[in-house]
């Protein structure tokens, strides 16, 4: 595992790929600052430019863009009270009030520090979980993945159904099964 990590670091340490990573970060910052834009929009805008790049360069750009989208949408949440995505909706509550009191720098620095801390702790946790999770993931076949998918959709249906009765449970349980059909015929969801 250590050799794979060092190899990946050597591949990404190439100056050209670091430049592409930086370009992805800038693109993610720009898209994240615009209210209503998010990670999906960032991917949609960047995808035509990375189509002909090699896989490592494309991953560098996408990683840079997606890593900062949810951090930069805090800027509009705090300064103008318009959350860029659901991830920054909570920062509007206290952050915008602090900005109105003239403490916008304090609110933004708290948001950025918490984003940095969460990102580093999450990356460390995922890195440490790889040796444990890898055998479990490789042991799962198609039947197990289908079962987990059906279980997740059923949980989503039960959460929705508690507010809407039996019809809500049925709609919620069936809602995930028609998503792959989106756009396959007129009138499909």
The secondary element (H helix, E strand) that includes residue 43 is helix 39-50
Q: Answer yes or no: is 21 within a domain.
A: yes
pLDDT digit string, tens, across residues 47-68: 898 888 888 889 889 988 988 8
Query: Are 109 and 24 in the same domain?
Result: yes
Q: Answer yes or no: is 27 within a domain.
A: yes
pLDDT value, residue 113: 94
Query: Using an 8 Å Cβ cutoff, are 156 and 176 in contact?
Result: yes
Query: Are 147 and 88 in the same domain?
Result: no
Q: Which of 81-85, 115-119, 150-154, 160-164 has the lowest mean pLDDT?
A: 160-164
How many angstroms separate the CA atoms of 7 and 36, rounded? 38
pLDDT digit string, tens, across residues 123-146: 999 989 988 988 988 888 888 888
Q: Answer yes or no: is 184 within a domain.
A: no
How many angstroms separate the CA atoms of 35 and 85, rounded? 7
Residue 141 DSSP code: -
Query: Using an 8 Å Cβ cutoff, are 170 and 157 in contact?
Result: yes
Query: Are 84 and 160 in the same domain?
Result: no
pLDDT value, residue 82: 86
pLDDT value, residue 189: 44
Task: Name the percent of the chain in helix, strand, coil, to the closest 5.
Answer: 85, 0, 15
Query: Are 118 and 30 in the same domain?
Result: yes
Q: Answer yes or no: is 187 within a domain.
A: no
In the chain, how many domains are there? Answer: 2
Q: Answer yes or no: is 101 within a domain.
A: yes
pLDDT value, residue 162: 56
| pLDDT band with cut points at 50, 70 and 90 for residue 89 | confident
Q: Answer yes or no: is 39 within a domain.
A: yes
pLDDT digit string, tens, across residues 165-180: 555 555 554 555 544 4
Is 0.85 surpassed by the pTM of this model?
no
Query: Are 89 and 170 in the same domain?
Result: no
Q: Answer yes or no: is 38 within a domain.
A: yes
Query: What domain range is 170 assigned to?
Result: 140-178
- Residue 33: Cβ-neighbour burial (10 angstroms; 0-12, 13-18, 19+): middle
Query: Are 90 and 74 in the same domain?
Result: yes
pLDDT digit string, tens, across residues 2-35: 788 788 788 778 888 889 999 999 999 998 888 8
Query: Are 168 and 147 in the same domain?
Result: yes
């Amino acid at each position: 595992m250590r050799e794979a990590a060092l190899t990946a670091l050597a591949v990404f340490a190439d100056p050209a790929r670091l430049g592409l990573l930086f370009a992805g970060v800038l693109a993610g910052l720009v898209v994240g600052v615009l209210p209503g834009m998010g990670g999906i929009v960032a991917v949609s805008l960047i995808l035509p430019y990375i189509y002909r790049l090699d896989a490592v360069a494309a991953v560098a750009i996408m990683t840079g863009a997606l890593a900062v989208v949810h951090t930069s949408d805090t800027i509009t949440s705090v300064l103008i009270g318009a959350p860029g995505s659901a991830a920054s909706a909570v920062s509007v509550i206290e952050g915008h009030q602090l900005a109105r009191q003239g403490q916008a720098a304090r609110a933004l620095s708290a948001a950025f520090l918490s984003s940095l801390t969460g990102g580093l702790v999450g990356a460390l946790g995922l890195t440490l979980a790889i040796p444990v999770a890898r055998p479990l993931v490789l042991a799962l076949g198609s039947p197990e993945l289908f079962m987990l998918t059906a279980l997740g959709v059923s949980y989503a249906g039960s959460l929705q159904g508690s507010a809407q009765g039996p019809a809500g449970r049925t709609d919620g349980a069936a809602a995930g099964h028609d998503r792959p059909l989106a756009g396959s015929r007129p009138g499909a969801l």
